[in-house]
Amino acid sequence: MGKPAYRFVCTKSFWREYEALSADKRAAADGKFLIFKKDPFAKELGTHKINRLSALYRQTVWSVTVLGNLKSLFTMNGNIVTSISIGNHGVYG
């Protein structure tokens, strides 16, 4: 059985935050997103649950390490992968 065919969407906030990144961070993000779009749980992404946000959102919230403290949060509903936000605040995991 192959990997599931994901559909990737994001919030407008995520898009704005992505566009506001510095050039080097955006380049790092682009590289990670290429991997992310193949497999959100690829080892090199360091994907992990954010327990407290998951409890508060009543749905599992995952965090991907983009570059250093810069993390990207996403959720999954069936095959739909929704990127919520990208940032470096402590709550991003």
Partner 1 sequence: MLTKSKVLAEGPSPDALLQVSKEWQPAQEDEVSKLEKRYAEWAAAAESVQHAAAKRLYENKDVCPIEVRFHLQNLSALLFKGQNIVLTAIQLQAKGEVPTDFFEAEIAIIDGLVPVLVSRLNEWHGTIDSQTDIPDSLKKAFAEAKAGEVIPFPA
Torsion of CA 84, 93, 41, 19, to 10 degrees: 40
Sequence-distant (6+) residues with CB within 8 A of 71 are 63, 64, 65, 86, 87, 88, 92, 93
For partner 1, which is the closer residue by CB, 1 or 19?
Answer: 19
For partner 1, which is the closer residue by CB, 44 or 80?
Answer: 80
Q: Which of 4, 41, 44, 51 binds partner 1 (CB under 8 A)?
A: 51
Q: Is 69 in the site for partner 1 (CB under 8 A)?
A: no
Closest approach of partner 1 to the CB of residue 76, in Å: 12
Q: How many CB atoms neighbour CB 59 within 10 A?
A: 12
Give me the residues that bind partner 1 (CB under 8 A), please: 8-15, 17-18, 30, 33, 37, 48-49, 51-57, 73, 75, 81-85, 87, 89-92
